[in-house]
Amino acid sequence: MATETLTSSEYIRHHLQNLTWGRLPDGGFGIAQNAEQAHAMGFWAINLDTMFMSLLLGVVFLGLFRSVAGSMTAGIPGGVQNFVEWIVEFIDSSVRGSFSGRNPMVAPLALTIFVWIFLMNLMDLLPVDWVPHIAKALGVPFFRVVPSTDPNGTFGMSISVFLIVVFFSIKVKGLGGFLGELAFHPFGKIGLPANLFLEGVNLIAKPVSLALRLFGNMYAGEMIFILIALMFGGGYGLAAFGGALQWAWAVFHVLIITLQAFIFMTLTIVYMDMAHHVEDH
Amino acid sequence: MNINATLIGQSITFFVFVWFCMKYIWPPIMNALHERKQQIADGLAAGERGRHELELATKRATSDMHDAKLKAGEIVAQAEKRATQVIEEAKQAARIEADRILVSAQASVDQEVVRAREALRSHVAELAVAGAERILRREVDAKVHADLLTAIQNEL
pLDDT digits (tens, 9 = 90+) for A191-233: 788 888 888 898 999 999 999 999 999 999 999 998 888 888 7
Shortest distance between the Cα of A235 and any Cα of chain B, in A, equals 32
* Cβ–Cβ < 8 Å for A32, A25: no
Tell me how far apart the terminal alpha carbons of chain A are, to the nearest angstrom: 63
CB contact under 8 A, A156 and B10: yes
Confidence at residue A5, expressed as pLDDT on a 0 to 100 scale: 60
The number of domains in chain B is 1
**pLDDT digit string (tens) for A16-62?**
888 888 888 777 788 888 888 888 888 888 888 889 999 999 999 99
CB contact under 8 A, B6 and A51: yes
pTM as predicted: 0.75
B141 vs B112, residue with greater confidence = B112
**B13: nearest CA in chain A?**
A55
Mean pLDDT score, A54-71 = 92
Q: What band does A3 get if pLDDT is binned at 50, 70 and 90? A: very low
DSSP code per residue over A50-102: HHHHHHHHHHHHHHHHHHHHHT--SSS--HHHHHHHHHHHHHHHHHHHH--S-
Confidence at residue A4, expressed as pLDDT on a 0 to 100 scale: 52
| Out of B7, B20, B29, closest to residue A156 by CB | B7
CB contact under 8 A, B29 and A85: yes
pLDDT at A170 over 70: yes
Q: Indicate which of B26, B33, B36 best probes the interface with A, i.e. most A CBs within 10 Å of its own CB.
A: B26
**A144: nearest CA in chain B?**
B1
Mean pLDDT score, B105-121 = 90
CA A80 to chain centre: 25
Could you give the 3-state DSSP secondary structure of residue A20? strand
**pLDDT digit string (tens) for B62-75?**
999 999 999 999 99
Domain that holds residue B28: 3-155
How many interchain CB pairs under 8 A, A with B?
A: 132
Confidence at residue B48, expressed as pLDDT on a 0 to 100 scale: 96
A158 vs B156, residue with greater confidence = A158
A160 vs A20, residue with greater confidence = A160
Mean pLDDT score, A101-112 = 91
Question: Domain-by-domain residue ranges, chain A?
Answer: 3-275
